Amino acid sequence: MRLAGAAAHGRRYMLSAPWMMVLASLLFALMGVCVKFASAQYGTGEIVFYRSLMGLVLMAGALRWLGMSWRTPVPAMHFWRSACGTTALCMWFYAIGVLPLATAMTLNYTAPVWIALFLMGGTLLLGPGKPGVDGRVVSAVMAGFAGVLLVLRPTLQQEQLWGGLIALLSGLISAMAYLQVSALGRVGEPGERVVLYFSLAGVVAGAALALASGGLHRHTLHGVLLLVAIGVLATVAQWLMTRAYATGSAMAISALQYLGIGYAFGLGVWLFDDPVTAQALAGMALIVAAGIAATQLRSRGPRTDASPTET
């Protein structure tokens, strides 16, 4: 009775789904700022390791509090989801360290466009007699990749092109991870367990990458505070986003998610003197519009996506 009363009391003061998504987007952008600052002191593997370690501790505590077991009937599905998600996370954190913040954020947010492309390819493979490809989906995909070209051309120096390709690839692999999250949801796996194994994979992969890159660096108070901030911001943002998708309109929430690009743009200009060009802004707008359109078109058909869990 006490727990039920506390839960009801908490729901009364909980933010609405749109405001949870607005706050989650801001926290993800702030996490990106901390990652960029931390990249001056730590390698990508170390940042992924510490971020994932904090997520693992918090999610293990959440499962214990909820009375959930770590045991899963679908370990292979968790393996592939965690492998894709962790790979994309490593690539994204690397890109944040070497690119303008908004550019890295925007290219990672191409995941919905990649998902639309995957589904379009699947439709074509169905063969004759099956539903054809929706022309609106084709338009969304083309607009998204036109936006990518605009973002890459004016904002990146020659030595940053590799980072741009890594960021774009992180969006591609994130799309694969999101589709696997959807599959896990359809077989009844709770989101807390999905995030738990994702965090566990991040700990292992981050440690391996850090050791392969020369080992762990010595800590400073400034560095520790940045690492703690990354873990807390990412975990809270992840939880808020998952709650927003679970309780609100998927179409409205997916549109609000793109506020993260706007936040990242403003923070990048303010804190890092990131360049501002009309072409880059136009490219970001195209990617946002294409992502929203692709998500809305998917949501009108059979359900193929799920509430994302960061990556």
Which range is least confidently modeled, 148-152, 172-176, 193-197? Answer: 148-152
Please tell me which residue, 30 or 21, carries the higher pLDDT value. 30
For residue 6, what pLDDT is reported? 40
Q: How crowded is the C-beta side of 237, counted as CA atoms within 13 Å? A: 22
1: pLDDT confidence band, cut at 50, 70 and 90? very low
For residue 88, what pLDDT is reported? 94
Res. 228: pLDDT tops 90:
yes
Residues 74-88: b if buried by 16+ CB within 10 A, e if exposed: eeebbeebbbbbbbb
Res. 304: pLDDT tops 70:
no
Q: Distance between CA 248 and CA 16 in Å, rounded? A: 8
Mean of the per-residue pLDDT values of the chain: 82
For residue 214, what pLDDT is reported? 83
The arithmetic mean of pLDDT across residues 175-189, rounded, is 85
16: pLDDT confidence band, cut at 50, 70 and 90? confident
**Percent of the chain scoring above 70 in pLDDT:** 81
Res. 25: pLDDT tops 50:
yes
- The length of the chain is 311
Res. 17: pLDDT tops 60:
yes
pLDDT in tens, 87-133: 999 999 999 999 999 889 988 888 878 877 777 776 655 555 555 55
Task: Using alpha carbons, select from 209, 232, 222, 288 the residue that is nearest to residue 31.
Answer: 232
Which range is least confidently modeled, 60-69, 120-129, 200-209, 270-279? Answer: 120-129
2: pLDDT confidence band, cut at 50, 70 and 90? very low
pLDDT in tens, 241-258: 877 776 766 666 777 788
Highest mean pLDDT of the ranges 88-102, 139-153, 183-197: 88-102
96, 98, 249 from 253: Cα distances, Å: 24, 29, 6
The domain segmentation of the chain, as residue ranges, is: 22-299
Q: Distance between CA 176 and CA 198 in Å, rounded? A: 14
Please tell me which residue, 256 or 165, carries the higher pLDDT value. 165
- Give the predicted TM-score (pTM) of the model: 0.84
The answer to whether 230 and 51 are in contact (CB under 8 A) is: yes
Helix axes 101-108, 75-98, angle to 10 degrees: 150
**Percent of the chain scoring above 90 in pLDDT:** 38
Res. 82: pLDDT tops 80:
yes
Which range is least confidently modeled, 42-46, 156-160, 300-304? Answer: 300-304
